[in-house]
Amino acid sequence: MNENWPIYFKDKLIVGNTNSDVWVVCLWTPVSTITDKLDKDYFSIAGQLYSKEWINYIVRNILAYPRIKHLVICWEDRVWSWQALINLIEKWIDAEHKVLDIDNCSIHKEIPVENINKFRENITIHNLSGIYDSSQINDKIKEISNNTSNILWDAEGIFPETKIEFDWVMPTDQSVFKIRKRYAGQVWLEILKKILKFWVIRESFHGNNCKELFNIAAVITDEDPEDFNIFPYFQITKEDIDNYIPKMMTGYKWTSDYTYWERLWNFPEIEDKEYKYNQIEDVIIDYLTRYPTDRAACANIFWVQDHTAKSSPCMTFLQATNVGNKLDLTVYFRSHDIFGWWLLNAFWLRKLQKHIADKLGWPIGNLTIYSNCAHIYDNNWWLAQEIITKYGNTLERLDCELDPRGYFNIEVIGDNIIAKHSSPNGKFLQEFTQNGREDRATIKLYNQLVLADVVSQINHAYDLWAEIQKAELAIKLNLKYTQDKPLL
């Protein structure tokens, strides 16, 4: 027996009897919740399977010491990771190492196909997913466990890590990053791009590394909560969304520590008082019904005891606000798994926003999700980079959305450059003028615009700079200037 086994995430796994040939896969339920009620003589390892990607580390750990014969899948799942594990065993992988008949699950190409096949041939799956009775799980592991056999099946190996060839980072001030798009999928892609460009690496609470960016303010303007836009680069399916949202819209109690919705819809007793708060219906909706323009329609998810708890909610605060007679929703995450959970939570929060707005009889406005520590875990770096390489860096995807602070008509009248500023709906607001024959005329006019705070999008700023400089050249070279056209 290798003393270093299991090789991966050893500090996150519960080691029982290493002579047993049973591995207990706890899915999303905290592993100690289950193993505290199991006989440790009858299982070798127990651990969680948070995502389909983590299947790779079950495979790698077992191949490093291949005597496990049984995988017992149990308790609660959210992302169909149990089905992906079953499909690996029963259906195999394609030429790209993607598990068949399941979305968004790949096996590391560094693990030889023959070893993966040996894994399939020697492992039996016992699917108890959705079973929460520990006595049933205990009975199953006692029934199947062989605690005396030390025969290793012929596939042993420790294989190279997944290659990561994009470990470079650009300088930035690590302050606030504003990302504003129409749809959640567009925002998610841009957040991935920002993290992979400006990251710092830090160790997570779970013991693995993450690439992290701080203070991301993500604004979703137009997502229809009745008909979400699904993009081809998503790592979730419509079925995942449809399964996730209904539970989040009630006080449903998961068996895991993931309790946003329970605390929103059924806030626990405080200091032994015998009541609970429905913070959505009885606080936010009730308050805005009585005081529609006030700023106290807030819900707290994090409370002081969470500082000493084993785990605490990542989403900590929610506020509903009347902005222009629309219902805006702002949500704060102290820590945010962008690759794994940002999208599902964005879709749920948009649905929640619609629920509140409908009860008030208001239209919905912007959804703003503020991520204080936004990160991608190391097991998803390569896949996130593949998505950005394929979908995030093409000229065809540049955002040409109108700047919410308005647009400019640039004209040349005599020797003057005239920049006329209008609101997004076409109302004239103000005019800026600069003599084009003066030295540094472009910079002087551009500085006027910066001081007036009339531009919020960097692509709009680049376009304005180019147009003003063209106008200056036209005046000094006696050429004809027309906005968005070549000089003549």
Residue 165 in any domain: the answer is: no
The pLDDT tens digits for 259-317 are 777 888 887 655 555 666 789 999 999 999 999 999 999 999 888 888 877 778 899 99
The rounded distance, in Å, linking the Cα atoms of 406 and 149 is 73
Angle at which helix 238-248 crosses helix 338-360, to 10 degrees, equals 50
On whether both 342 and 412 belong to a single domain, the answer is no
Q: pLDDT digits over 236-263, tens only?
A: 999 999 988 988 888 766 655 557 778 8
Angstrom distance (rounded) from CA 169 to CA 151: 47
- Whether residue 412 is found in the same domain as residue 380: no
Tell whether 126 is covered by a domain.
yes
Say yes or no: 317 and 193 in one domain: yes
User: Which of 396, 423, 451 delimits the end of a domain?
Assistant: 396
The pLDDT of 56-81, averaged and rounded, is: 88
Give pLDDT, residue 46.
93
| Rounded average pLDDT over 109-129 | 92
Residue 353 falls within a domain, yes or no?
yes
Top-confidence residue, 9 or 259: 9
Q: What is the mean pLDDT of the chain?
A: 88
Q: Are residues 387 and 418 in the same domain?
A: no
CATH number for 116: 3.40.50
Predicted confidence (pLDDT) per residue in 139-151, tens digit: 999 999 876 656 6
pLDDT of residue 205: 67
208 or 368, higher pLDDT: 368
pLDDT digits (tens, 9 = 90+) for 441-461: 999 999 999 999 999 888 899
> Looking at the structure, do residues 272 and 348 belong to the same domain, yes or no?
yes
Residues 223 and 322 in one domain: yes
Identify the H or E element spanning 61: helix 55-64
Model pLDDT, residue 85: 92
Q: How many distinct structural domains can be found in the chain?
A: 3
CA 11 to chain centre: 25
Cα dihedral across residues 361, 366, 371, 372: positive or negative: negative
* pLDDT for position 253: 65
Q: Confidence band (pLDDT; 50, 70, 90) for 170?
A: confident
Does 155 map to a domain? no
Residues 6 or more apart whose CB falls under 8 angstroms from that of 73 comprise 25, 27, 49, 82, 85, 86, 125, 126, 127, 128, 129
- The answer to whether residue 265 sits within a structural domain is yes
pLDDT of residue 53: 84
Alpha-carbon gap, residue 92 to 59, rounded angstroms:
13
Q: What angle do CA 464, 401, 484 make, to 5 degrees?
A: 40
Phi and psi torsions of 210, nearest 5°: -140, 150
pLDDT above 80 (res 167): no
Are 77 and 199 in the same domain?
A: no
Is it the case that residue 398 has pLDDT exceeding 60?
no
Nearest one of 155, 55, 162 to 109, comparing CA atoms = 162
SS3 content of the chain, % helix, strand, coil (to 5): 35, 20, 40
* 367 and 233 in a common domain: yes
Tell me which residue range forms the domain holding 279: 177-396
5 occurs within a structural domain: no
pLDDT of residue 367: 98
Asked if the model's pLDDT at residue 467 lies above 80, the reply is yes
- Which pLDDT score, from 0 to 100, does residue 52 have? 86
Helix (H) or strand (E) holding 144: helix 134-144
pLDDT band at 207 (very low <50, low <70, confident <90, very high): low
The whole-angstrom separation of Cα 127 and Cα 73 is 5
* DSSP tag of 20: -
Interval 260-269: pLDDT, tens: 778 888 876 5
123 and 246 in a common domain? no
Q: Does residue 3 lie within any of the structural domains? A: no
Same domain, 197 and 333: yes
Residue type, 352: L
Choose one of 85, 119, 144: the last residue of a domain: 144
CATH code where residue 388 lies: 3.30.572.10
For residues 322 and 453, membership in a common domain is answered with no
Look at residues 481, 445, 437, 486 and name the one whose alpha carbon lies nearest to residue 465.
445
What single string gives the DSSP state of each residue in 351-386? HHHHHHHHHHT--EEEEEEEEEEEEEEGGGHHHHHH
Residue keyed to tokens 């003066």: 438
Report the pLDDT value the prediction gives residue 355, as an integer from 0 to 100.
Answer: 97
Q: Which of 339, 370, 396 is the last residue before a domain boundary? A: 396
Tell whether the model's pLDDT for residue 177 goes beyond 80.
yes
pLDDT at 178: 92
Give yes or no: residues 325 and 232 share one domain.
yes
Position 323 confidence tier, pLDDT thresholds 50, 70, 90: very high
Is residue 379 assigned to a domain? yes
